[in-house]
Amino acid sequence: MRRAAVAVVATALAAAALAACGKEVPLPETPPFPDRWGTTRGDEPTDAAEKRVRRERLANLAGPDAAVLILSAAESPGFTGATQNCDFTYVSPFDARGAAVLVALAPGANPADKATLDDRLYLPAKNPAGELWTGPVAGPGDATKKAALVAAAPPAAALAADLAEMMKTKKTLFVSAGGPADGARLVGPLVAALRERFPGTWIRNVDAPGSGAEDLAESIRRALPAGAERGGDPAALVKTIPAIAVKSAARLTSEMRETKSAIEIARIRAACAATVIGMKDALRAAKPGMLEMQVAAIVELRCRLLGCARQAYPSIVGAGPDSCVLHYAANTRAIGADDVVVMDIGGEYSGYASDVTRTFPANGHFSDEAARVYDAVLAAQEAGIARVKPGATLRDVHAAAAAVLKERGLIQYFPHGTSHSVGLDVHDPWRADAPLAAGAVITVEPGVYIKEKGLGVRIEDTVLVTANGCEVLSAGVPKTRDAIEKLMDEEPPFPVRTR
């Protein structure tokens, strides 16, 4: 789908959702989202032109002496599937398992000349029998090459040989393989294959996924030609042996993903808009006797009806003592009349996350103690949001929020950071101390958790950094005590069974 079309669709969804403030949110006759609700099948490309630009930038960040290998999640048996490597989603128009994107500037390339980009999308061979169960997926070949706007779309089986050929003219291989388990499983064999193909070259896995403890001297000696002198100072030997460094691509991909494009921002807006509607409905419906999971279900229902294919993370609804568990996700407790409830939920629209938290009293009215803590956390959040602007860092935002909680005598109950980046991952990558720039999307979420009282309070918004400050994308969910209590006094959107 073309970038402009998706942006218009997502913006229309966001506007419609934010404008809807009644208890019922009717769906329009013509749904304001794509035929597949913001998702695609495995044989349909997404944002091919934009992802081509990303691959160009990635190759230029790596430089002429390096290649970048982005591996997708490995194929997994059964119906559960593996979590996709978001770096792969970021640069590949096709979703696939057991696939890879290999990017480099061609030898002697002029970075200003796009024709010199060598980008290849490696996909497993087509499997008609498997597609009977899971649906069609893209395969290698000219059709995929044309749709993906890549220089080549070879079969995945050709990756090791092609990588070895490319590395004849490169000194560094940057690798992204998703989680540590995938890294150990996927990167290790590729490094071993390179060592076999370059017997006189030191192939050193510096910090890429799958790297393990490796004795420096032994790794150098393994690279020496047969019969070469095996003694001597390892540091001196390094200078005599050709070397290829295998490094993590995290620095490169983090730098790129920290600032979002217009289409990415539109999708995060749509995810926030759906979550806002769901949270307001949940606040209207919440009452003692409900299960935590029922509160979550109301938000998740609205997210689906408004175009979110899934949640960005397991929904968190923690009542009473559960409110003090930061990533609580069991959601099985019955809500007590005197409980304070933390509701941390975010829809995901077309692959992009939202992350919103509100805290409310189960009976609709804050006690004096809950009010004292709540007001302190809200003041801390407002101080943090006020600090969000280009040039500031996440440390600056955290310091502003923490200063308020320290002044209120609650800093000892604040165990986590105030902000993280949001994008394809709900905790998107971010380089330590990187300055905020227009287009970055972060959270601001201070919290206080007093375990001995079973009292946890967290307030969180998804915030877009703008040229002159910031915009709170989830501002539609009330967060002052008066506004929350007023909303909870309204009629619920539909009946909910309680104990």
Residue 237 sits in a domain of what CATH number? Answer: 3.40.350.10
Q: Is residue 6 part of a domain?
A: no
- Residue 367: the pLDDT is 98
Q: Is the same domain home to 80 and 208?
A: yes
Q: Is the same domain home to 157 and 285?
A: no
- Residue 226: the pLDDT is 59
In terms of residue numbers, what domain contains 323? 259-488
Query: What strand order describes the sheet that includes 310-311?
Result: 310-311, 347-349, 352-353
Q: Is the same domain home to 434 and 472?
A: yes
pTM reported for the whole predicted model = 0.89
- Residue 28: the pLDDT is 37
- Residue 234: the pLDDT is 60
Q: Is the same domain home to 212 and 281?
A: no
- Residue 34: the pLDDT is 47
Question: CA-based Rg of the chain, rounded to a whole angstrom?
Answer: 25
What does the block give as tokens for 333?
Answer: 């407790």
| Closest C-alpha to 234, from 200, 198, 199, 202 | 202
Q: Is the same domain home to 181 and 276?
A: no
Number of domains the chain contains: 2
Q: Is residue 445 part of a domain?
A: yes
Q: Is residue 494 part of a domain?
A: no
Q: Is residue 1 part of a domain?
A: no
Q: Is the same domain home to 201 and 232?
A: yes
Q: Is residue 36 part of a domain?
A: no
CA distance 464 to 200: 50
CA torsion angle for 44, 425, 429, 73 (degrees, to 10)? -60
Q: Any idea what DSSP says for residue 452?
A: G
- The answer to whether 160 and 122 have CB atoms below 8 angstroms apart is no
Single out the residue in 235, 255, 275 at which a domain terminates.
255
Q: Is the same domain home to 265 and 250?
A: no
E strands, 194-328, where?
202-205, 243-248, 310-311, 316-319
Q: Give me the sign of the Cα torsion angle 138, 140, 145, 149.
A: positive
Q: Is the same domain home to 74 and 127?
A: yes
- Residue 17: the pLDDT is 41
Q: Is the same domain home to 174 and 66?
A: yes
Q: Is the same domain home to 84 and 57?
A: yes
- Residue 251: the pLDDT is 94
Q: Is the same domain home to 218 and 288?
A: no
- pLDDT digit string (tens) for the chain, length 499 residues: 334 444 444 444 444 443 433 334 443 333 344 444 445 577 888 899 999 999 999 999 999 999 999 999 887 665 555 688 999 999 999 998 899 999 999 876 565 555 589 999 999 999 999 888 888 999 999 999 999 999 999 999 999 999 999 999 999 999 999 776 667 678 888 888 888 898 888 888 888 876 655 556 666 667 776 555 555 666 676 677 888 999 999 999 999 999 999 999 999 999 999 999 999 999 999 999 999 999 999 999 999 999 999 999 999 999 999 999 999 999 999 999 999 999 999 999 999 999 999 999 999 999 999 999 999 999 999 999 999 999 999 999 999 999 999 999 999 999 999 999 999 999 999 998 999 999 999 999 999 999 999 999 999 999 999 999 999 999 999 999 999 999 999 999 888 888 7
- Residue 381: the pLDDT is 98
- Residue 482 burial by Cβ neighbours in a 10 Å radius (0-12, 13-18, 19+): exposed
| Closest C-alpha to 161, from 120, 220, 200 | 120
Q: What CATH code is carried by the domain that includes residue 388?
A: 3.90.230.10
Q: Is the same domain home to 233 and 325?
A: no
- The answer to whether 59 and 103 have CB atoms below 8 angstroms apart is yes
- Residue 80: the pLDDT is 55
